[in-house]
Structure 1
Amino acid sequence: MRNHKRFKPEYNDSDIAIIGMACRFAESQTPDEFWQSLTTGKDLICEIPPDRWDYHSWFDPSPQTPGKTYSKWGSFIKDIDKFDPSFFNMSPLEAELMDPQLRLLLSVLYETVEDAGYARNIWGTKTGMFVGAWTHEYRDQIIKSIKGNNLYKELGNHASMLANRPSYFFDLRGPSLSVDTACSSSLVALHLACKSLHHGECDMAFVGSANLLLSPLHYLWLCELGVLSPTGRCHIWLVNHYIMANVIWLLWVVLTCF
């Protein structure tokens, strides 16, 4: 067997810089609005709104009740159905069958580029897309409501599309991957984006996460595990400390030497 030198990519240890950001959080359409909520101590936790699902049918304050949730609290983004398909060159039907997490990611990605004030064209650049996500409740609803094969149903709800579709729309030619490590998904996505930058796999990277709550599915099994908070408050040193939240956010990161 021939001896081959092991390929060692150059490692650049420059610091990481955030040059743009955009988000959707509860009662916050921009990072500035979210910052105001944090600095003023605004309570962003509420009862599950009726436009998501009727929690009364699923709620029982007793943690031991089978098929019920003892938690009725969460943090929810408004207007998750607001989307302009023509802006992203897609038909209304395609948008309707697309996971709203993906719709919002496309919108937030465009806002991230605007926030950066980036004057050059990003189309065709060596830019990565790293998205952390672990809930895909819209996919479950679409599969139940639409029988048979449908291209839009499949492309719009596959987990990989949360990263791949934005990469395709902007013609980003760096790594493109969705990351599911449950609660740590977004931080792992950020870690992978930073490694990709340091190792020269991409020159720039978008990194973020998407999490929308559309059904009682995750509430049911998380309550069965006993991890959700019954009071609507986080108690980090107790077992039942966890509160579900809607989030869509993206950062645009580069090496400081870029």
Structure 2
Amino acid sequence: MDLKDAIAIVGIGGMFPGAKNINEFWRLLKHGENHVKEIPKYRWNNDAFYSPDPNTGGKLYTTHAGLMDRHDEWDNRLFGISDAESERIDLQQRYTLECVHMALEDGGITRKELSGSKTGVYMGCMNDDYKMALYDDFKVGMNPDKEKDANYSVTGTSTSIISARVSYVYNLLGPSMTIDTACSSSLVAIHLGCQSIRLDENDMAICGGVSSIMYPETFLVLCRARMMSAKGQCHAFSDMADGYARGEGCGVVILQRLETALQMKRKIWAVIYTGCNQDGATAHPITAPSTQQQLELLKTVYERHNIDKSQIQYIEAHGVHTFCTNQFNEIQLILRKTNF
């Protein structure tokens, strides 16, 4: 294993269905808890949208998703955001700020240390449900009282601000971007963060992914494309797969060169190696995965970083769910901390 350009994970934060922080998430994993459940009526009325017949237009043939409790509550003033502006901010911005805060606390990294630093932010995101909700206010019959807050709507709904908001709140001066490569968005975001550190664009990188589900519209188009699981469960890499189940949440990692992290006596979770490629036209149709390209990617990452495959502890990949996968292949290898 080549440690010269090794990237260390020095802080983590997250909130997911059934877990409002990383400690609760570890518990969830340990006990094998499944928090993909029937969509509650305070999100939307399943009875009005459900039909078991996948050919029924305007209907969903699935009723399940992984959703967080108390999803619309947050401490906006912790991040210097007024109550008026907070009302116009996408939940995905809120989740990201909270998870970045958790990750910094986990890594023992202070705001003072970060302010003015060459730290980049790379967040993956493909949903914009909040924008759909907000734009409904501007249709015929809009409540005039809401117009006074409209000046926050642009920054509140733009996905580019998911990452930019973090840079602004913490005064970070490295590149800041939100990446959409569909299901692989967070993986590609972390890959770009690793690359930026190796290129000396950043001393550290805050990376991750975020998703919020508020309305059934996306479910409708995914059901029409037969991408959703009728059982409401993901069975990636299994012959039981009949589609996938959607979920929401946010996960953030803080990355730094291993050499620097050791010098600064950081809390090191693991070393991470990443790789990325595209399928091009090696598989058909455009939604089909390419076995050839996925194998090529694994081979490239192993050889580029001189990795002993027996030392790999964890592999994260963009899983195939039978009917669809984004053509952007991404692989991340996490190696045991004891190796360094």
Question: TM-score normalized by structure 1?
Answer: 0.91
Q: Which amino acid counterpart does residue 231 of structure 1 have in structure 2?
A: K
Q: Give the Cα separation in 2 of the matches to 1:249 and 1:61.
A: 33
- Pairwise CA distance, 1:171: 0.5
- Residue 232, structure 1, aligned to residue 224, structure 2: no
Secondary structure of 2:206's aligned partner: strand
- Residue 125, structure 1, aligned to residue 125, structure 2: no
CA contact (8 A) 2:234 2:241 kept: no
- Residue 116, structure 1, aligned to residue 84, structure 2: no
- Pairwise CA distance, 1:239: 6.2
Note the alpha carbon deviations across 1:172-197, whole angstroms, 9 max, x for none. 11110000010110111011001001
**Residue aligning to 2:132:** 140
Q: Give the Cα separation in 1 of the matches to 2:46 and 2:85.
A: 29
Q: 2:88 aligns with which of 97, 101, 123?
A: 97
CA contact (8 A) 1:13 1:198 kept: no
Q: 2:256 aligns with which of 244, 251, 254?
A: 254
Secondary structure of 1:208's aligned partner: strand
Q: Which amino acid counterpart does residue 69 of structure 1 have in structure 2?
A: L
* Identity fraction in percent: 32
Aligned pairs for 1:170-185 (under 5 A) are: 170-185=170-185
- Residue 83, structure 1, aligned to residue 74, structure 2: yes
Task: Count how many residue pairs are aligned between Structure 1 and Structure 2.
Answer: 247
Aligned pairs for 1:21-32 (under 5 A) are: 21-32=12-23
Choose 239-248 or 206-215, whichever is displaced more.
239-248
CA contact (8 A) 2:129 2:214 kept: yes
Q: Give the Cα separation in 2 of the matches to 1:104 and 1:26.
A: 13
Secondary structure of 1:52's aligned partner: coil
**Residue aligning to 1:162:** 162
Q: Give the Cα separation in 2 of the matches to 1:80 and 1:13.
A: 41
CA contact (8 A) 2:15 2:249 kept: yes
Secondary structure of 1:27's aligned partner: coil
Secondary structure of 1:174's aligned partner: coil
- Pairwise CA distance, 1:13: 4.3
CA contact (8 A) 1:20 1:113 kept: yes
- Pairwise CA distance, 1:146: 3.7
Secondary structure of 1:97's aligned partner: coil
Secondary structure of 2:70's aligned partner: coil
Q: Give the Cα separation in 1 of the matches to 2:159 and 2:198.
A: 26
Aligned pairs for 1:195-234 (under 5 A) are: 195-234=195-234
Q: Which amino acid counterpart does residue 135 of structure 2 have in structure 1?
A: I
Q: Give the Cα separation in 2 of the matches to 1:180 and 1:13.
A: 30
**Residue aligning to 2:6:** 15
- Pairwise CA distance, 1:87: 1.8
**Residue aligning to 2:271:** none
- Determine which structure has greater relative contact order: mean sequence separation of CA pairs < 8 Å that are 6+ residues apart, divided by chain length: 1
Q: Give the Cα separation in 2 of the matches to 1:146 and 1:83.
A: 25
- Pairwise CA distance, 1:212: 0.8
In structure 2, list runs of 5 or more residues that go unmatched. Answer: 140-146, 261-340
